[in-house]
């Protein structure tokens, strides 16, 4: 059973460190000489100082470290690590390639997510055999996000509390403003064209619709597997609700290349969907609505403005 990330930071103090009941992992790091973090796969790494040569093989880790002001600690990233602009300048390492390239770069920490170890166990084993610490982190739910960010902050030796406070404060403001809207719009969120899949009830996109004051018509859709944020819905069921859909949101990315109203209208039967017929369609980048990053706030703002443009201003585009 997965233990929430904020319970995973175990403080191992030396005999000279007597402070107890520390309020957060950052203060714990300052108070103690040795810290141990257990990742989402049960592997532990102990360290006396923050890591200074980090390779991130997952784009969310890279983006969040930059957001925390720890971008200078990164010496490499995966080819998908392209935000912010500074991330594009990092040396690129592929977890499907030769692990010797990572070993030769002499990182003091490699950050991955569980997907990477499951699909490339030999690659990760080679890094660990070479003595390189590897931590696998991924917040499965929104409730895990804060603990995950605190782990990254602890590893890099920074304090992420201000960023987390601002993040939650802005989300709370959107939720409170949306709660005052009387005429709620009914929304369908498409994750992939295949089988007209949608976002599962506890996923980040579904939460964004809720925060923004939308009514998710597919909230009862079943996830394709217990750990998936993607749920089956089906074109036939969708079209049976054609007149109920006030707004249609399409997540764009590797799994869903649809990017225009015309492509949507050309699908069999889709011109009958109220939102598609009326042009009330939003195409949104999966990186700001389905990834565990601070830019999720931008995704929520984008949806809120789309649903209720008179109540919410259009957010500024990220670089």
pLDDT at 285: 94
N-to-C CA span, the chain: 38
Task: Please determine, for residue 3, whether its predicted confidence score (pLDDT) is greater than 90.
Answer: no
Residues forming a β-bridge with 156: none
pLDDT at 34: 83
Share of the chain above pLDDT 70, in %: 89
pLDDT one-digit tens code per residue, 124-156: 999 999 999 999 999 989 999 999 999 999 999
Task: Please determine, for residue 18, whether its predicted confidence score (pLDDT) is greater than 60.
Answer: no
Overall average pLDDT of the 285-313 stretch: 97
CA distance 145 to 61: 12
pLDDT at 33: 65
Q: In this structure, are residues 144 and 119 in contact, taking their beta carbons and an 8 Å threshold?
A: no
pLDDT at 1: 38
pLDDT at 178: 98
Task: Please determine, for residue 17, whether its predicted confidence score (pLDDT) is greater than 80.
Answer: no
Query: pLDDT band at residue 201, thresholds of 50, 70 and 90?
Result: confident
Looking up tokens 């509390």, which residue turns up?
161
Overall average pLDDT of the 35-62 stretch: 95
pLDDT at 319: 61
pLDDT at 195: 84
pLDDT at 40: 93
Q: Kindly report the average pLDDT of the chain as a whole number.
A: 88
CA distances from 90 to 57, 61, 71, 79, 106 (A): 12, 14, 10, 9, 15
Side-chain-facing half-sphere of 50: CA atoms under 13 Å:
22
Query: pLDDT band at residue 221, thresholds of 50, 70 and 90?
Result: confident
Overall average pLDDT of the 196-203 stretch: 89
Query: pLDDT band at residue 22, thresholds of 50, 70 and 90?
Result: very low
Q: Which domains does the chain have, with CATH numbers?
A: 5-159 (3.40.50.1980), 180-307 (3.40.50.1980)
pLDDT one-digit tens code per residue, 80-132: 999 999 999 999 999 998 999 999 999 999 999 999 999 999 999 999 999 99
Task: Please determine, for residue 24, whether its predicted confidence score (pLDDT) is greater than 80.
Answer: no
């Amino acid at each position: 059973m997965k233990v929430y990330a904020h319970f995973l930071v175990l403080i191992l103090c030396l005999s000279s460190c007597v402070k107890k009941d520390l309020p957060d992992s950052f203060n714990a790091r300052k108070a103690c000489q040795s810290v141990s973090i257990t990742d989402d796969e049960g592997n532990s790494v102990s360290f006396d100082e923050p890591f200074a040569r980090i390779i991130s093989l997952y784009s969310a880790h890279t983006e969040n470290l930059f957001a925390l002001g720890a971008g200078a600690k990164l010496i490499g990233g995966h080819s998908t690590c392209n935000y912010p602009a500074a991330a594009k300048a990092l040396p690129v390492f592929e977890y499907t390639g030769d692990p010797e390239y990572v070993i030769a770069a002499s990182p003091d920490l490699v950050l991955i997510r569980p997907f990477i170890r499951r699909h490339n166990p030999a690659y990760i084993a080679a890094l660990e055999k070479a003595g390189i610490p590897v931590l696998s982190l991924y917040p499965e739910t929104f409730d895990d996000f804060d603990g995950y960010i605190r782990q990254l902050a602890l590893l890099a030796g920074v304090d992420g509390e201000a960023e987390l406070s601002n993040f939650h404060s802005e989300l709370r403001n959107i939720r409170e403003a949306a709660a005052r809207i009387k005429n709620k719009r009914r929304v369908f969120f498409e994750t992939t064209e295949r089988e007209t899949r949608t976002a599962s009830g506890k996923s980040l996109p579904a939460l964004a619709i809720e925060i923004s004051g939308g009514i998710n018509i597919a909230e009862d859709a079943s996830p394709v597997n217990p750990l998936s944020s993607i749920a089956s819905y089906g074109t036939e069921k969708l079209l049976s609700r054609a007149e109920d859909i006030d707004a249609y949101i399409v997540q764009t990315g590797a799994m869903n290349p649809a990017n225009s109203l015309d492509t949507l209208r050309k699908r069999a039967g889709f011109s009958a969907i109220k939102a598609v017929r009326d042009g009330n369609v939003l195409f949104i980048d999966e990186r700001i609505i389905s990834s565990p990053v601070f830019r999720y706030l931008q995704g929520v703002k984008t949806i809120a403005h789309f649903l209720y443009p008179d109540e919410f201003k259009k957010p500024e585009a990220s670089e």
